[in-house]
Amino acid sequence: MFNREMIRNIAIIAHVDHGKTTLVDKLLQQSGVFRENEAIQDRMMDSNDLERERGITILAKNTAIEYKDYLINIVDTPGHSDFGGEVERIMKMVDGVLLVVDAFEGCMPQTKFVLKKALEQNLTPIVVLNKIDRPNARPAEVIDEVLELFIELEASDEQLDFPVVYASALQGTSSLDADKQEDNMLSMFETITEHIPSPKESIEEPLQFLVTLMDYNEYLGRIGVGRVNRGKISQGQVVTVINREGKHKQARIEKLFGFQGLKRVEIQEAGAGDIIAIAGIKDINIGETIADSNNPEALPVLKIDEPTLQMTFLVNNSPFAGKEGKYVTSSKLRERLYKEIETDVSLKVEDTDSPDAFIVSGRGELHLGILIENMRREGFELQVSKPEVIIKEIDGVKCEPMEHLLIDVPEESMGAVMESLGTRKAEMQNMINNGNGQVRLEFMIPARGLIGYGTEFLTMTRGYGIMNHSFERYAPYAGQGVGGRQKGVLVSTETGVSKLYGILNVEDRGTLFLKPGTEIYEGMIVGEHTRDNDIVVNICKEKALNNIRTANKEETVKMKTPRIFSLEEALEYLNEDEYCEITPESIRLRKKILNKSERERAEKNRKLAKANV
């Protein structure tokens, strides 16, 4: 065990893409963790395939670095507010935070979100101004923004007196001076060891360990990761596990692991202040306390932010069900969803009256989208409904989630963006013109208004706009007519294969979502109508074979480029009467009721019922 005085436990927090994970890379590389001939990949902490593809951190991960005589435990946290459950728990494991801020972009919505969590836990902050080598970096202004944010979040006097390290994580340089950089990360290491306090817990008191993160290994089973809050823990020790409801059970510690670089190393014993992993306790879960058997005392239960968005996950019942997936039954779907909530405390799963449908609630579209993407890669087939915000009644008032929205747009797109957000009940809070052709707009907007807005926003700004948002609070319901799709869809009347002739025949009616040669079925959505109503089309139609030559026979017919949806775009696009069918190979949009006559009958009955209310 390390001397308690020489341990430093820190979390790295930041807005998405401000350089946290790259910073950890350079700290690891310069600490001598790797052999000289060892192959090193970028963003080593992003081990999940989806993290590497998207360039975001989804799961919190920890590492340990030895610097001089110090052991620095570092936890890399997600920057996106949809994964706030991870960030919140990590704050219980550390004594200080490195707040990484982009030297050009400055404070963003998630900067505020993650810093708020850190200050609430009374952690010691160090501000890292990253990307200082950017040509348009504005360090002095950004430091002022950070200070204003600290004041707004009611930081203590000690927290306001934060040290600043200027760095370029990409180049591996750092300094305490904004005007020059040293070709190493020594300024960072020295600031951490000097300013972050060592653990203050007692090693002599009875054991307390809070399970903060979960991992799984096929040989060891469930692995609980967390911090020893007090006392000592050793391999083979008999302990008491206290669950979130306060119930006790006996268990034995089979294996104990510490961290060294990116590796988990087996250890015999750990003490107060150590960040470790425990294996061998069946059914261990996040938020549970592992305590001394002779003196079992529970730690405070972790407070987790409530979900704000929900979707219905259903067994795939389309005409193509079972063709592309490995897991297609309701029992497999249920088992997978309930397995997910064991490691993701921000997620909720509820059974419904139907054995084939489950309500899944999460922190946002990205949160639920990542779960769906992981499931399709594992071989699942499923259908999901349109994402809906979770409405709550607070003190007798109907309330909905509100988002703090920050937008950077070119000046010429500003008017169109403001007009489009006005129709979605957004209220402008602030406008800053940076004088470089870019304008920053701040809004408060109902979360409903952002569903499906991403694609429209990118079209309006021709891809130059940047949009970030984070959950702010629940506020009184803003009324009907917020957000939603403005246009109708083209719905297939046939089951078969789409043909170029059939597509060309309906191109003037709207935008197609697929190419010729795609298998389709009746009730499947094949395009977007130019108007606000749905129409049925037959794109399986082939040109009649006859002997009549056309005057334009030699002309080459060109089809317009179809609009192909990503998973997130497909989920955003959905309407209340539609499903998104997801398989390992395909993403299809469809009507809930596939048959045209049945759809019309159901719509007629719905209108009658509404008129009679």
Q: In angstroms, rounded to a whole number, what is the distance separating the alpha carbons of residues 118 and 345?
A: 19
Q: In angstroms, rounded to a whole number, what is the distance separating the alpha carbons of residues 138 and 143?
A: 9
The answer on 523 and 468 residing in a single domain is no
Q: Cα 572 vs. chain centroid, distance in angstroms? A: 15
CATH of residue 418: 3.30.70.240
- Around 188, how many Cα atoms within 13 Å sit in the side-chain half-sphere? 32
Amino acid at position 187, single letter: S
Detail the residues annotated as belonging to a binding site for GTP: 17-22, 130-133
Q: Backbone dihedral region of 530: left (phi > 0), alpha (psi from -120 to 50 degrees) or beta? A: alpha
The β-bridge partners of 392 are 399
The answer on 215 and 178 residing in a single domain is no
pTM: 0.74
The answer on 83 and 181 residing in a single domain is yes
Tell me, what's the pLDDT at 304?
Answer: 67
The answer on 130 and 77 residing in a single domain is yes
Q: Considering 292, 323, 342, which residue would you say is the last residue of a domain?
A: 292
CA distances from 51 to 57, 76, 261, 300 (A): 6, 13, 19, 31
Contacts of 77 (CB under 8 A, 6+ apart): 11, 12, 13, 20, 57, 60, 86, 87, 90, 114
Are the C-beta atoms of 74 and 27 separated by less than 8 Å? Answer: yes
Are the C-beta atoms of 404 and 379 separated by less than 8 Å? Answer: no
- Which range of residues forms the domain containing residue 509? 490-566+589-612
Amino acid at position 569, single letter: E
Q: In angstroms, rounded to a whole number, what is the distance separating the alpha carbons of residues 173 and 379?
A: 43
Are the C-beta atoms of 89 and 39 separated by less than 8 Å? Answer: no
- Secondary structure of 256-317 as H, E, C letters: EEEEEECEEEECCEEECCCEEEEECCCCCCCCCEEEECCCCCCCCCCCCCCCCEEEEEECCC
Calculate helix-pair angle for 20-30, 186-195, nearest 10 degrees. 100
Are the C-beta atoms of 274 and 258 separated by less than 8 Å? Answer: yes
The answer on 119 and 251 residing in a single domain is no
The full length of the chain comes to 613
Contacts of 25 (CB under 8 A, 6+ apart): 40, 42, 43, 44, 45, 169
The β-bridge partners of 509 are none
Flag whether 383 is in a domain: no
The answer on 465 and 542 residing in a single domain is no
The answer on 234 and 103 residing in a single domain is no
Give every residue of the chain whose pLDDT is below 70, as ranges.
1-2, 16-18, 31-61, 78-86, 109-110, 262, 303-305, 434-435, 545-557, 613
Give the number of domains in the chain. 4
CATH of residue 63: 3.40.50.300
Helices (H) and strands (E) in the chain, counts: 15, 35
Q: In angstroms, rounded to a whole number, what is the distance separating the alpha carbons of residues 111 and 125?
A: 13
Residue 204, burial from CB neighbour count under 10 angstroms (0-12, 13-18, 19+): exposed
Flag whether 189 is in a domain: yes
Are the C-beta atoms of 483 and 452 separated by less than 8 Å? Answer: yes
The answer on 156 and 10 residing in a single domain is yes
Flag whether 364 is in a domain: no
Flag whether 343 is in a domain: no
The answer on 142 and 11 residing in a single domain is yes
Q: CA nearest 115: which of 163, 77, 72?
A: 77
Detail the residues annotated as belonging to a binding site: 17-22, 130-133
User: Which pair of structure tokens corresponds to residue 122?
Assistant: 């009374």
The terminus-to-terminus CA distance of the chain in angstroms comes to: 70
CATH of residue 217: 2.40.30.10
The answer on 518 and 455 residing in a single domain is no
Site of tokens 């549970």: 288
Flag whether 308 is in a domain: no
The answer on 217 and 86 residing in a single domain is no
CATH of residue 594: 2.40.50.250
- Around 3, how many Cα atoms within 13 Å sit in the side-chain half-sphere? 6
Q: Considering 244, 259, 292, which residue would you say is the last residue of a domain?
A: 292
Flag whether 579 is in a domain: no
Q: DSSP characters for 144-165? A: HHHHHHHHHTT--HHHHS--EE
Flag whether 350 is in a domain: no
CA distances from 487 to 99, 396, 501, 531 (A): 43, 35, 24, 6
Segment holding 142, helix H or strand E: helix 139-152
* Model pLDDT for residues 318-374, shown as the tens digit of each residue: 999 989 989 999 999 999 998 888 777 778 999 999 999 999 998 778 788 888 988
The answer on 150 and 55 residing in a single domain is yes
Flag whether 302 is in a domain: no
Q: In angstroms, rounded to a whole number, what is the distance separating the alpha carbons of residues 55 and 16?
A: 9
Q: Considering 167, 195, 223, which residue would you say is the last residue of a domain?
A: 195
